[in-house]
Each structure stands twice: as structure tokens, then as C-alpha cells.
Amino acid sequence: LARLAESRDQDTGDHLNRMRKFSYMIAKRLAKTKTYKGYIDKKYVNNIYHSSPLHDIGKVGISDTILLKPGKLTLDEFELMKNHTVIGGKTLEDAEKQLKYKTKSFLAMGKNIAYCHHEKWDGSGYPFGLKGTEIPLSARIVALADVYDALTSKRVYKDAISHEVAKDMIVQGRNKHFDPQIVDTFLMLEHIFKETNYKSNV
């Protein structure tokens, strides 16, 4: 499923591997905190490892003229791009229903991530305008992992920026774009993020 999105954009494959690693690391560290000890267990960490690469599968429903545009999207184009969250979430929701899992599966988490990885802590995100802990934890984790890797990677429409600049942008997004506890966890792990990013670009 993840490779459906990868097939549309040659940069996506490495992105999926990196943000999967970032999401996994954040979840493992959060599992040790007072807030999430007992909630984030081994199954949760494994599920986020398997489901995080599904975050953008809805992009298979977005036109190449928008998805691969070498420049900034117009407002109308951006509105169409937003639909990838609903397309991906609905696809995974339908798959989950057909498979009739008796317990929570990685597809259930994948559905939440696909729908909600562009929601923002202050409620200004899309597609539902969720705020704070209304946003599933898995989507809040993936949101930071996804943004960090997008910022530090070269894309058809932009150049890569440094770890330091990306870090500053994420810190500025604390309590706005990102869950503050997840930003704090990122800062504890930033040396691993920086090392992973460096190895991917040499």
C-alpha cells in the first residue's frame, strides 16, 4: 500500500523509511514517560512502525499536475491536495472493516494517521480541524516525523534545509503545529534525527 504512493514520486521511498524510523523512535521514548507509560506498549510501537508509511497513500488520488508541480501550489490546488488525507483514511477504514479484526490492528492506527497527520495542535490543521488531544496520538507523532523529514529533504518544489533550521522551525511550532510533549521528545532524540538525515544525504 505504501508503495502505491512511492510509485508516484521517486523521493517518497527514502522518505517513508526515514519517517518510519523517526516515528518509531518517538513512540519508544514516549512509552517511558509518565503520561504514556502503560498506554504505549510494545504492540503500539510495532503498529506505528508498520502503519506510519501509510500516511500519504491518499496521494494516489491526486493529479500529477498538482503532486509533482515544481513550484508553490495555488490556493485551489492546495485545496485539492488536502483531499489526500480523506482518500487515504477512507481507503484504510474500508480495508479495516473488510478484514474484521477482533483487536486493534495496525490498519486502525494507519487510518488515524492518514486522516489526521495534517491536523495541528492549535486546531488550524485539516481535514477536520481537530485540536490538542482530539488528534490521535499516532497522528501527532507522525506529524512531527513527517514535517522534519520533508523540511530536510530536497523535493521537486524546494531545496533541503539544514537540521538546525528544521529544528528551530519545529520548536517554533510547539503548542501551535505540534504536541509540546512530542517536540520535547524530538529534542531529546535530535542527534539521531540529525545523524539519519546526514547519512541519507551523503
| Prediction pTM value | 0.92
Greatest distance between any 2 Cα atoms in the chain? 46
What confidence score (pLDDT) does residue 202 get? 46
Q: Which residues of 49-77 are buried (b: 16+ CB within 10 A; e: fewer)?
A: bbbbbbbbbbbbbbeeebbeeeeeeeeeb
Cα Rg of the chain (Å, integer): 16
Q: What is the mean pLDDT of each run of 10 residues along the chain (202 residues)?
A: 69 80 97 94 95 92 89 94 97 89 82 98 98 98 96 83 96 98 97 78 50
- Separation of alpha carbons 142 and 49, rounded Å: 10
